[in-house]
Homo-oligomer: A and B are copies of this chain.
Amino acid sequence: MRKIIVQKFGGTSVADTDKIKNVAKVVIREKQNGNDVVVVVSAMGHTTDHLVKMAKMLSPNPSSREMDMLLSTGECVSIALLTMAIQAEGYDAISFNAMQVGIMTENIHSKARIVDIKTEKLRKNLEAGKIIVVAGFQGVTEDGEITTLGRGGSDTSAVALAAALGAERCDIYTDVEGVYTTDPRIVPNASKLAEVSYEEMLELAHAGANVLHPRSVETAKQFSVPLRVRSSFKLEDMGTLILGVDKMELYRPVAGVAADLSQARIVVCDVPDKPGIAAGLFTALAEENISVDMIIQSYARKVSNTNDIAFTVDSNDLPKTLATLDKLKDTLGASDVKVDAEIAKVSIVGAGMIDRPGIASTMFETLAKLGVNIRMISTSEIKISCLVDKTDAQKSLKALHTVFNLESDVVADVKGDLPDV
């Protein structure tokens, strides 16, 4: 049976007709490899911005249903144009919007989740030898309402299509060459990872590495779809393969380091050490739709029978957070609320750290030698994060990148027999 490859091209890859012609060549190359090809595309370059601008000129607060009707047109333009470009090269191709395919979502506008993808029309057209071009970012409800999938939606469309079709692989073509050990703008000798696990990718994404939207990685993980992130302009570069940790040889404890400078720390001081206090606080924040990242509760002080609760939120949520705390001040009985926005979260991520002791201590020692004061620590199975002063972020990142040997990509090739593109 022929293998199915799903390819996804973002807005910068289809920004103008010349770039669309380039994408057509990349698509055809995969078809020439003997694979069936399903292509997912985003809206051209600045189309979405232009549409949003017009909407804002007509309404201060346009309804999310009509925004979805509006924004979904961008992808419908790209799919038709790319299909024409492929046909012009002599290959049979056909475009479908989400409604035509049956990319079924929840009935929620602007951030719907895919619940099902009909594959009948896709399979019929693949069997007829056609290259299929599908509109990313959009879906449709049972009632025929058009929805969009929110940020990173086209990546999610591609991964979900790959899962539904049992595709061999999902290639995400983008304007970067792959996933790096850290942000090359901060650490110039960051190196590209040949492979990374879904879990590491998720932690890196949440820690500030924005190559793929976490939702698409979660979907790939859930359905074990191998993902490849690669450049549409450097085809000889195989990019980074993202796959299950079970399929990797864990030769390295740390896959990458990341810094997140968008957080703010809040310390609620001297709250009574009794059950329900923390629960009340974080439930109230959740009700306001505020995501809390790190949480530390100190040991209770024996004399006063109080403790401190420290946590971090996105800086944008700071005003809302303080307003919520103000409403709770009688219940909390706190002596003070301290806020610090001049902080950074520095993280090391690696599926290999699970079985290797000493990784955390190496991190702490490295920061200590630099004279960096650690304000908070949080750990998961594959990530260790330290909250430091914002001014210490860059040197911390560089030092950690060096100490964990991330300069050169020593990663072995993928095990097994993955097809080349």
Give the residues in chain B near A146, CB-CB below 8 Å.
97, 100
B95 x A66 contact (CB < 8 A):
yes
A95 near B69: Cβ-Cβ < 8 Å:
yes
- Of A80-88, A175-183, A267-275, A412-420, the segment with at least 4 beta carbons within 8 Å of chain B is A80-88
This chain: copies in complex: 2
Q: Given A17-B57, A58-B81, A87 and B73 touching (CB < 8 A)?
A: no
Looking at the assembled complex, report how far the CB atom of A72 sits from the nearest CB atom of chain B, in whole angstroms. Answer: 8
Nearest chain B CB to A311 CB, angstrom units: 38
Interface of A is mostly: helix
A1 within 8 A of B: no
Query: By the criterion CB–CB under 8 Å, are A80 and B95 in contact?
Result: no
Q: Is the CB of B88 within 8 A of A59?
A: yes
Q: In A257-296, which residues have CB < 8 Å from any B CB?
A: none
Q: For the complex formed, measure the closest distance between the CB of A67 and the CB atoms of chain B, giving whole angstroms.
A: 8
A357 within 8 A of B: no
Instruction: Point out the residues of chain B lying under 8 angstroms from A94, CB to CB.
Output: 65
Residues of chain B with a CB closer than 8 A to A51's CB: 77
- Say yes or no: is A60 at the interface (Cβ < 8 Å to chain B): yes
Q: Tell me the smallest distance from the CB of A98 to a CB of chain B, in Å.
A: 11
Residues of chain B lying within 8 A (CB to CB) of residue A95: 66, 69
24 example contacts (A-B, Cβ-Cβ < 8 A) are as follows A17-B54, A51-B77, A55-B80, A55-B84, A58-B85, A59-B84, A60-B88, A62-B84, A62-B88, A63-B83, A63-B87, A65-B94, A66-B95, A69-B79, A70-B76, A70-B80, A70-B84, A72-B76, A73-B73, A73-B76, A73-B77, A73-B80, A100-B145, A121-B144
